[in-house]
């Protein structure tokens, strides 16, 4: 009698065995879906920061006193329960973590896509996806390099010979008074707006919010957010170069809002 062949069990892939030993958040992150969710959620957090940062910078039009008060408000967040600046540092650490995860997930997805040699699954419009992938490849590094320069210039004072620690209004005006710095600021914020437009469009796709019925609304939202942020951020170098925002506190918009400048009121 012929004996049946013994069933040979195939060992599980090494990657699957490794993933099974990881905590479930890390195990999910090993998948393309997990990375897309991380990229989408961290992108949403970073977008929120960009919007709040732009709104905060609008205090430049009100003069140095308002900018200083806004900076002090940020430093004093949560002082009823925690020491001064702790909340601000927690936000900074959270942003750094979100930025790092955003970069890693984007890089990992790009490598996975290249290795699999396939486009995104889900019926994304080919023209939009193709253009987005090309622009994201360049706008991301541009934003990263500019972020380092921005911190080195306005926070650490490495590139601004007139840097004054604790005086953000003076530092911003002195920095943007330089035409090369203003041009760098403009180029970086154009790249940021393009990144936000395609990032917002892709974010809904990554989070599974995708319906042909509402895709036009998604495009309007992405374009509206990118446009508002672009106009707001570009106004700062343009108005500093035009002299509307200056270092003596007597800006046109401050006089328009308050009837007279803070500096003018103090000298009277």
Helix, strand, coil shares, percent, the chain, to 5: 75, 0, 25
Which pLDDT value is given to residue 67?
92
Q: Is domain 42-267 given the CATH code 1.10.3470 in the classification? A: no
pLDDT tier for residue 204 given thresholds of 50, 70 and 90: confident
4-43 tens-digit pLDDT: 555 555 555 545 555 557 787 788 888 888 898 999 899 9
| Sign of the torsion formed by the C-alpha atoms of 250, 153, 163 and 75 | positive
Region 184-207: mean pLDDT is 89
The alpha carbon torsion through 238, 166, 87, 36 (nearest 10 deg) reads: 30
50-77 tens-digit pLDDT: 999 999 999 999 889 999 999 999 999 9
pLDDT tier for residue 266 given thresholds of 50, 70 and 90: very low
Which pLDDT value is given to residue 190?
96
Q: Are 102 and 39 in contact (CB under 8 A)?
A: yes
Which pLDDT value is given to residue 28?
86
Which pLDDT value is given to residue 253?
57
Q: Are 137 and 201 in contact (CB under 8 A)?
A: no
Longest dimension (CA), the chain: 114
**How far is the first Cα of the chain from the last one, in angstroms, to the nearest whole number?**
114
Q: Compute the half-sphere exposure of residue 193: CA atoms within 13 Å on the CB side of its CA.
A: 19
Two tokens, residue 9 = 């069990």
Q: Are 218 and 201 in contact (CB under 8 A)?
A: yes
Which pLDDT value is given to residue 135?
78
117-157 tens-digit pLDDT: 555 444 445 444 556 557 787 898 999 999 999 999 999 99
Instruction: Tell whether the model's pLDDT for residue 194 goes beyond 60.
Output: yes
Which pLDDT value is given to residue 177?
94
Residue for token pair 């943007």? 176
Region 161-184: mean pLDDT is 93
Two tokens, residue 103 = 């970069």
pLDDT tier for residue 160 given thresholds of 50, 70 and 90: confident
Closest residue by Cα to residue 63 from 221, 169, 196 = 169
Name the 3-class secondary structure at 87. helix
Two tokens, residue 235 = 């106004």
Which pLDDT value is given to residue 151?
92
Q: Are 151 and 168 in contact (CB under 8 A)?
A: no
Which pLDDT value is given to residue 268?
39
CA distance 226 to 207: 19
State phi, psi for 73 to the nearest 5 degrees.
-60, -40
Q: Mean of the per-residue pLDDT values for the chain?
A: 82
Percent of the chain with pLDDT over 90: 48
Does residue 238 come out as left (phi exceeding 0), alpha (psi in the -120 to 50 range) or beta?
alpha
| Sign of the torsion formed by the C-alpha atoms of 37, 43, 45 and 47 | negative
Region 171-189: mean pLDDT is 95
Which pLDDT value is given to residue 252?
54
């Amino acid at each position: 009698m012929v004996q049946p062949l013994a069933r040979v069990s195939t060992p599980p892939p090494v990657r699957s065995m490794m993933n099974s030993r990881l905590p479930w958040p890390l195990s999910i992150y090993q998948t393309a879906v997990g990375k897309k969710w991380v990229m989408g959620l961290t992108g949403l957090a970073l977008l929120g920061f960009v919007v709040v940062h732009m709104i905060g910078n609008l205090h430049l039009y009100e003069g140095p006193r308002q900018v200083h008060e806004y900076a002090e408000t940020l430093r004093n967040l949560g002082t009823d329960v925690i020491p001064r600046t702790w909340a601000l540092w927690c936000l900074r650490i959270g942003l750094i973590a979100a930025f790092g995860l955003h970069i890693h997930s984007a890089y990992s997805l790009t490598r996975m896509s290249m290795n699999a040699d396939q486009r995104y699954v889900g019926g994304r419009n080919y023209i939009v996806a193709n253009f987005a992938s090309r622009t994201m490849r360049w706008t991301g590094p541009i934003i990263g390099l500019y972020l380092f320069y921005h911190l080195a210039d306005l926070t650490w004072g490495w590139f601004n010979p007139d840097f004054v620690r604790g005086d953000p209004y003076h530092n911003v005006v002195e920095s943007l008074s330089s035409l090369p710095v203003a041009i760098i600021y403009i180029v970086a914020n154009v790249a940021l707006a393009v990144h936000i437009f395609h990032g917002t469009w892709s974010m809904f796709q990554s989070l599974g919010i995708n319906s042909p019925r509402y895709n036009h609304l998604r495009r309007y939202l992405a374009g509206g957010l990118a446009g508002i942020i672009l106009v707001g951020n570009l106004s700062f170098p343009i108005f500093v170069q035009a002299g509307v925002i200056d270092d003596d506190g007597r800006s046109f918009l401050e006089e328009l809002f308050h009837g007279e400048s803070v500096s003018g009121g103090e000298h009277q």
